[in-house]
Structure 1
Amino acid sequence: MIFSSTTIALVPEIKKGPWIYWEDLELGICKSANLGFDGIELFTPSADALDPDFLKEKLDLHQLKLSAVGTGAGKVIHGLTLTDPDPEIRKKAIAFISEMISFGAKFGAPAIIGSMQGNVMPNGNREETLGWLKEGLEELGEVAKSKGVFLIYEPLNRYESNLLNTLEAGSEFLETLNTKNVKLLADLFHMNIEEVDLPKSILANGKHIGHVHLADSHRGPMGSGHTDFGPIAEALKSIDYSGFVSAEAFPWPNSDAAANQTIQTFNTYFK
């Protein structure tokens, strides 16, 4: 079964980013439930920024799940990445993500590594940088395994990262890891930029996909741009995907309209 999810960001520094709801956690949860979503994906400043008992109370009240937790605040607020040339910064990045993994695991939710993967620095060595990424994913994959969840790695488009930009590149990289507890995030916005054929890429790399981000061609809510979602939905069904499709999209033209557009598209193809 495929499940729907909105996104709620509680990090002021990323307020201009592609998330449906902002700042008010209770209101975002309530609105998500009223529209019929199955869960929420959450972005917090840190693992200890939110009382897990409070979150559990609100999720249980509205019969929602926590679909995933984002780690991007580690880079935005603290400047941490897994591929920084400074080993102390890499160590801090691993510690930050480990704490986010532990927080999400309380709800059976995986953590996402997106922007915290970093980049090959100017004049940096690509192989060395990928080696640092591998070391980080190896350790964090096992941390997640010990907590009973998997870890999600997100290939980003070329304008956000010069590491691994496609599902194929991500799959090939995961195949080199000793840990088998890392899965890919198929983000339709990034894929729209990098993939030749989105459905074919999903079919070819389906065994590694553990999470999906819904966004249309302009990163607005799915169904508001020119991405043909029908074949994508069929591809997800064909690989027997059984996770969340989460609306990481700009709240265009506003949060309520974006959430409504997303759930209508979800219900059209998955209900």
Structure 2
Amino acid sequence: MTSPFEPRIPFRRAAASTVCPIGVHAGVWVNDWSPLSARKAIEGSAGAGFDLIEIPLPGSRGTAASDSLTRALLEDNGIDAVVSLALGTETDINTEDPAVSARGEEKLLDAVAFARDIGASYVGGVTFSAMTKYAHPATAASRANSLDVLTRVAAAACKVDVRIGLEYVNRYESNLLNTAAQTAAFITDLKQRGASNVLLHIDTYHANLEELSQADAVKDAGALLGYLHMAESHRGRLGTGTIDWPGLFEALDATGYQGPLTFESFSSDIVSPATRDDIGLWRNPWHDPAEVARQAAAFLREHLTHRAHPALRA
């Protein structure tokens, strides 16, 4: 199968020798989206050999790089972009509180508008609930509310040719979607409501905590799979932890997946103290963003080359 991602603008940097475009999270480079940070992150990502950069929705649009500057930097560097976000406790749509839900819906629509204005065709992340440790299970009413909001957001996104990704996370960061199977069922419910532009987003770090295997996660996602975060078990350098990378790539090969593979890793040398505390980044897996980015790009290219040319496999 081909990927359901189907970006509005074909990936400009994707090499003919690779199967999937590779990306990098902007948090590898910067902790905000000021004009200086936008230039550093985009130029760094292109220079390291990535096809796309994942840009978190800027927290303060007033001090962020203008959408036109971001778009120009992407064009000048020949690199594509996707947009991501994680809802918080004050913007949770997995709730029975209408005021909190309304703020969450507004944030999701803001992300869609940001994607539209910078020329991106995908908004993903923890878009279905707050990214937090819940003190209780999700309720039928909170799940239904999340479905209602995402149905409206997906409809708005469809009008501007933007796709919505649902990145399930581990049990300590959501009580609603923790596995690919749960997320596939949730997306099926959305599609029955007419949301045809919703995709399943696997993060290998979270899958490592919750799934039987990375391959099982890909199998359970099936044709709904549209985006992957490539993150090591300790969120450091790829290939240095316990993730079964060969098994993952074999599963992707079996499904014919052709969507993006985006490296995600964080260091408190880069991220803000607030982000450090939110994700429990108590020790640094690396210090040099350029070095870890180049290593990740080479790691992903090597696996994709072997996937494209089976004779090269050990």
Equivalent in the alignment of 1:192: 208
* In structure 1, distance between residues paired with 2:61 and 2:189: 29
Q: Could you list the per-position Cα deviations for residues 235-267 of structure 1 after superposition, in whole angstroms to 9, with x for gaps in the alignment?
A: 222222222111121243121232122112111
Q: Could you list the per-position Cα deviations for residues 151-207 of structure 1 after superposition, in whole angstroms to 9, with x for gaps in the alignment?
A: 011111001111110000100111112122211111000000000021122023221
1:110 and 2:122 are equivalent in the alignment: yes
Equivalent in the alignment of 2:259: 243
* In structure 2, distance between residues paired with 1:226 and 1:123: 30
Greater Cα shift, 141-150 or 47-56 = 47-56
* Cα distance change on mapping 1:29 and 1:57 into 2, 3 Å: same
SS in 1 for 2:88: helix
**What amino acid is the match of 2:212?**
V
Contact 1:212 1:246 (C-alpha < 8 Å) held by counterparts: yes
Equivalent in the alignment of 2:112: 101
* In structure 2, distance between residues paired with 1:216 and 1:96: 29
The alignment covers a number of residue pairs equal to 257
CA drift of 1:56 comes to 1.2
Q: Which runs of 5+ in 2 are unaligned?
A: 1-18, 32-36, 268-284, 306-314
1:263 and 2:292 are equivalent in the alignment: no
Equivalent in the alignment of 1:138: 151
The structure whose Rg is larger is 2
Equivalent in the alignment of 1:61: 76
* In structure 2, distance between residues paired with 1:111 and 1:250: 20
Equivalent in the alignment of 1:2: 20
- Counting aligned pairs with the same residue, the percent is 23
* In structure 2, distance between residues paired with 1:245 and 1:234: 14
Instruction: With the length of structure 1 as denominator, give the TM-score of the two structures.
Output: 0.87
Of the three residues 22, 28, 35, the one matched with 1:20 is 28
Contact 2:137 2:176 (C-alpha < 8 Å) held by counterparts: no
* In structure 2, distance between residues paired with 1:185 and 1:27: 27
* Cα distance change on mapping 1:75 and 1:125 into 2, 3 Å: closer
* Cα distance change on mapping 1:243 and 1:125 into 2, 3 Å: closer
Equivalent in the alignment of 2:229: 213
Q: RMSD of aligned C-alpha atoms? A: 2.1
Equivalent in the alignment of 1:91: 102
* In structure 2, distance between residues paired with 1:100 and 1:140: 10
Question: Where do 4+ consecutive residues of structure 1 move more than 6 Å?
Answer: none
Contact 1:120 1:163 (C-alpha < 8 Å) held by counterparts: no
SS in 2 for 1:205: helix
Contact 1:109 1:149 (C-alpha < 8 Å) held by counterparts: yes
* In structure 1, distance between residues paired with 2:85 and 2:136: 27
SS in 1 for 2:170: coil
